[in-house]
Every structure is written in structure tokens, then in C-alpha cells.
Chains A and B, each alone.
Chain A
Amino acid sequence: MREITYCDALNEALRQCMVEDERIVVLGEDIGCYGGIFQVTKGLLDEFGPDRIVDTPISEAGFIGACVGAALTGMRPVAEIMFIDFTTVCMDMIVNQMAKMHYMFGGKGCVPMVLRTNIGAGRGTAAQHSQSFHSFFAHIPGLVVAAPSSPYEAKGLLTEAIKNDNPVIFVEHKRLYTTKGPVPEESYRIPFGKAEIKREGADVTIVATHALVGAALEAAEEAANDDIDVEVIDPRTLSPLDKETILSSIQKTGRLLVADEDNKTCGFAAEISAIVAEEAIFYLKAPIIRNASPDTPVPFSPPLEKAYMFGKEVLMDSVRRLMAYA
């Protein structure tokens, strides 16, 4: 299969959906002639024109709210918020409006919109441009939270997000935009709430999200050299969450490592750990380990930011610690 980048996979999903469905409009800052700060919307303005590819002023509460209103009345808007950090300036529209309407209105009316944004540190952009608080949205009932870990997931999940009738927070990852992988040319959908077992194994389960899926697979390779058989699960959507795949993996391995880039306290890793503790504790052979970001703002200084981040080595160390329990 041909290989394209995560960024191009997202672009292709948008383009194919827009050709098919005229109700799709895209709104965001610098998404037109600039092509989006990460180039995800590159070329779309030329193809679909300024009525459907709309550059907005810095008015996040305004245009995200407008997407809610438009979705409620028959359009299918896709909005881009440049960095997840900026979702805070339109949080009322997301949490109190977008997420709640279908429920508050007794199941009447729906909000089929997608809010695309991204997480991830490592670019030296400090505490207001590097956060990974995707877990926050998984905390809000009514929102779907998608977390694509590869170009294949990026295209399939975005296509599903656009076609799905629910409001979706679509959380991309900055470091993944330039990574390449196999992606089918035709349009396809990855269903929400279906985890993918990225690698089968019998000794340790790693539930990993976003860029840490790749790191977990590398760790699994390395562990195999030591005869440790690691299973890697990518939940693909944080909400809805495919608990069954995770729980049955634990029944097999009895060891859980959760790897997620949100801050440790109250983050997604905490949720997975709690579910396993509640529903599969008697299968556990070892205490659960969470590898998550430290509970600090993202520091600017390069050595501090480097220490803030983690990857294969940290996961590998955790795998060994889990294996210390017979």
C-alpha cells in the first residue's frame, strides 16, 4: 500500500468527505491560503472556495459556537483550533453547548460537528502551546474523543468523525503530523469505541495513546529480545472506550502499563487504571503502572522539556518492573 503522512491522511479525509457531502464546511484560523499551521488543510481553499473553507478571526468562542448552531441546523462543520491550549477560550461552547444539547433537548436535535486540534510538547513552545489535556474532554459526557496514533487511524477516524452524528473532539498529535504509514486511497471509516490490538502478547499489556503507541511498539520489540511478550492496545477513541478489549487482555497478561501524555493526576491513564482495578483486579499479577507526563506546566528550557517528555526507555523500564512480579 502507498505510504503518506499523518498530515496528508487527514487532508485526504477532509477532501474526500467534502467532495461527497456539500454540508461540510471547514472553519479555523489560517486554514485557507496558509493551509493550516500544520498544513492539514493545504489546497482545500483552492478546491472548495472561501464559502466552505473559512478563515476566521481570533474569535474561538464565536466560531466554535457558530459550528454548534450550524450543526444543529443541518450543516456538518469541521473546526480547527490551532492548539488544544486554545480550546479553553471557547470552553463554554464545547462543554455546555456542543456536548449537552442532544441530551438537554431530550434526544431532539443533534450536533454533528468535529473540533480538530492537537496535543504534544517537544517544540520549545512552553506552557500555553504544548499541553496534552485531551483527558479533560473524555470527562465530559456527550463528547466523542478520538486519538489517532498513525496515518491510517488519522484518515479512518476523521472520516468517521465527520460522518458521525455526534460532536467529536478530534485530538491529533503534533509529532505525528510528519510520520508516514500505509493508508488506503479509498474512503473508509474506523468505528468509534473499537480498540486495536497493535501487537499481541502474553506477558504485559500496554494501553498506549497517540505517539506513545509507536513508542510502546518499539518497547515491545526490545522486550521480545528479553523474551518478554508485550501486547500493545491502542484505544483509538478515549470516549467511547473499548473496555472489553482492554479487560480481556488483562485476563491474559495480568500486567498493565498505561502510557498517555496527559498529566498524571486525573489523566486518561488514571481512568484506564481505575477501570482495570475495579473490573479485573483479581487477574493482576503486579501493581498497575502509569507512564504519564509530570504534574507540571510544560517548561520552556530545553533540558527541562526533554525531562518532561518520555518514550520507549521509560516504557521499557516499566515493563521490566512489571515483569519483576512473577
Chain B
Amino acid sequence: MDPTKDQLIGLYKTMQTIRLFEERIVDLYARGEVPGLAHLYIGEEAVAAGVCAVLTDEDYITSTHRGHGHVIAKGTGLDPMMAELFGKKTGCCKGKGGSMHIADMDKGILGANGIAGGGLPIAIGAAWSAKWRKTNQVAACFFGDDASSNGTFHESMNLASLHKLPVVFVCENNGYGISVCQAKCTLINDVASRAVAYDMPGVVVDGNNVVEVYEAAAKAVKRARAGEGPTLIECKTYRWRGHHEGDPNQGARYRTKEEINTWKEKCPIKQFKKKLLKDRIATKKQLETIDKEISQAISDAVAFAQESEFPAVEEMYEDIYVELGEAQ
């Protein structure tokens, strides 16, 4: 299941879009244009890019508080996404949800989530629904290493396995919850080893190697579509920024600069770029053109968000319930 040349370029584009988008958020957040809590995905791009590349628009994902990467990779437009982060009416949730609640039903994105572990059972439900409706859709569910300490992880794993549901569990193991490192949360080294308890395959991949992630995800999705049940994929990676923007000194209270720098050396994008050039998949110039196009698209999204209006105050009272007669 090797990715084609076009797919490889696609993976690069997705990762670079996430990176440049998040870097822009750093700046916008510092200037107060993006309010609230921003949990950035810088350093973890290969996971979202690799997994979403093997999903179709009809497939589902559930995301997390650190969700920008998943949403971009699954195909939501940058304009409505950026506008949502600004709290504007043109945002994908009309400005009501913000960073932690971005959703896009047209792209099968069943929401980022402010509750750690909250997305897992929802993915189970989406997969079960696909099975009941016989649609052959798959649900991929992203969650952090620390979220796997939540009971919802274990209950979801068991339900998915029991009913052979078309789910791909994607653990983004970046080594930390907020400040607590993995060794202080669990004695196992690999979250993937928990798959044994639920009789499903559990695989560990280098989460900074997008091709490895892609291949593992492709295999898991194939298995899910064939009705053979779920897979747990653990992607080892690292977040470069603090837990959220504003976490003092990018997390200096609980980790060292050296550790951060070691992981920066293993930058998923830098590595992949090298590979693309070495394997002559793309030229330096081609990649530069891609980068420029992405930067432009992000600038356009920022302008779109800045020019958009805030929702009117009355809109606060809308969307609490589905209007009678509006049911689909």
C-alpha cells in the first residue's frame, strides 16, 4: 500500500498547511486576535496527515482539544476554520464553538472536543451507525496518550472489538498530558499494548514519519472496511509548543529545552522533505511553490476572518434546539 507520487505530494501539502496555519495562530493569538484556548499541533503533523490521507470525505473522524491538524487534514476549508478561531459568524460553527469545538458535518468531522476522551465513544457510535446503515464508512478517532487513561478509552475499545466496528483508534502519543509525562500516568511503554486486552491489533509507529503512519492507517482502514473490526495505532510524536498558547515558556515547568530540541531535530516535515528530494519525487523549486501557495491561502483565510462580522447578540439564543419541522 505504498503511496503514489501524487499522494506523497499531497501528504507534504497537508503537513505544511497545518504547520504554517499553526505558526500563524501563534502570532494571531499573541496579538489577541484569536481568543480563548489554542492547543497547537506543531510537531505532530504527520499523524493527522497520514491518517486522513487514507480516509474518504464520507468517513468520519472525532478529534480532540488539539484539533486544528485533524480538521485541516480531513479537508475543511481554511477560511471557515480561521473565521471560527476568530469567533466570526462565517466560521464553521458560526463562531459559537471556537478552537476546541470545530466541526464540519459535510466532511465527516464530528467535532474537536474539550473533554479529554470525549471523542472516543462518539467515534464508536459513528462506526456502529455505518455498520447499521451498511454504508462501508469508517470512523477514525484521534486521542492523546493521557486521554487513554480515561474510562471512555477502555469502554470504547471493548465495544468496538465486541461488535467488530469499523474504527481506527489513533493514539497521538506526544509523551505528555498537560504537565504530566507518560511515565507518571501509566507503567506501560506503549499504549498500543492495551489492544491485547481487547483482542485487536495494536501497532506502534513513528508518528513523525508520515509514510509509516499512512501505511499503518491504510492497513487498519482496509481491515475496518472488510468488517474485520478495529485497530489501535499508536503514533509516537511530540508537541513543540506548550500545552496551549500561554503555557509558560513552552512547558518549562515540566520539561527541558534539550528535550524539545531533540524532537525538533526529528521534525516530521523536514524529514519528509528530504525524502521527497532524495527520491526525486519533487524538486526544491516545486516544494517552494507549494509553500508559497499555502502561505497565500493562509493569509487569505486571515483576511477573510478579519473582514467577517461577529455574530449578532441575538444569535446566542439560536441553535440550542432544532426548530420543530427542521428535523432531517
Contact = CB atoms under 8 A, between A and B. Distances in A.
A283 interface: no
B147 to A, nearest CB: 6
B88 to A, nearest CB: 7
B7 interface: no
B317 A126 contact: no
Interface string B38-65: 0000000000000000000000000000
A301 B96 contact: yes
A58 interface: yes
A89 interface: yes
A34 B179 contact: yes
A36 to B, nearest CB: 10
A129 B316 contact: no
A241 B178 CA distance: 37
Nearest to B98: A300
B310 A302 contact: yes
A303 B152 CA distance: 35
A59 B185 CA distance: 10
Given A58-B116, A126-B100, A304-B96, A37 B36 contact: no
A61 interface: yes
Nearest to A129: B114
A33 B117 CA distance: 23
A63 to B, nearest CB: 10
A304 B313 contact: yes
A86 B115 contact: yes
B179 A296 contact: no
Interface string B87-122: 111000111111011000000000001111100000
Given A33-B254, A34-B254, A37-B178, A294 B150 contact: no
Contact of A124 (B36, B117, B185): B36
A124 B151 contact: no
Question: Which has the most chain B C-beta neighbours within 10 Å: A37, A86, A123, A302?
Answer: A302
Contact of B315 (A33, A61, A304): A304
Contacts of A299: 95-96, 311, 316
A38 to B, nearest CB: 13
Contacts of A32: 179-180
A107 interface: no
B97 A127 contact: yes
Interface in B305-320: 310-311, 313, 315-317, 320
Interface in A167-192: none
Interface in A232-284: none
A24 B188 CA distance: 29
Chain A interface extent, by class: 35 or more
Contacts of A125: 36-37, 98, 100, 114
Chain B interface extent, by class: 35 or more
B95 A33 contact: no
Contacts of A303: 87, 310-311, 313
Contacts of A30: 177-180
B278 interface: no
B147 A58 contact: yes
Question: Which has the most chain B C-beta neighbours within 10 Å: A58, A126, A129?
Answer: A58
B117 A58 contact: yes
Contacts of B89: 301
Given A57-B177, A59-B150, A128-B101, A301 B317 contact: no
A245 B225 CA distance: 66
Interface string A121-160: 0011111110000000000000000000000000000000
B114 A85 contact: yes
Nearest to B85: A300
Contacts of A61: 151
Interface in A1-44: 29-30, 32-35, 37
A58 B146 contact: yes
B122 to A, nearest CB: 13
B226 to A, nearest CB: 33
B77 interface: no
A126 B146 contact: no
Contacts of A59: 149-151
A61 B151 CA distance: 8
B186 interface: yes
A74 interface: no
Interface in B119-165: 146-147, 149-152
A297 interface: yes
Contacts of A85: 114-115
Contacts of B88: 301
Contact of B310 (A37, A301, A308): A301
Contact of B36 (A33, A55, A126): A126
A34 B242 CA distance: 12
Contacts of B280: none
Contacts of B152: 89
Contacts of A123: 36-37
Given A30-B177, A33-B254, A59-B150, A296 B320 contact: yes
A307 interface: yes
A300 B179 contact: no
A128 to B, nearest CB: 3
B31 interface: no
Contact of B35 (A55, A294, A295, A302): A302
Interface string B166-210: 000000000001111000111000000000000000000000000
14 contacts: A30-B178, A34-B179, A57-B146, A57-B185, A58-B149, A129-B37, A296-B317, A299-B96, A300-B35, A300-B36, A301-B87, A301-B88, A301-B98, A301-B311
Given A58-B146, A128-B113, 20 more contacts: A34-B180, A34-B253, A55-B180, A57-B186, A58-B149, A62-B149, A89-B115, A89-B117, A124-B37, A124-B87, A125-B98, A126-B97, A126-B114, A128-B101, A296-B320, A297-B320, A300-B87, A301-B87, A301-B95, A304-B95
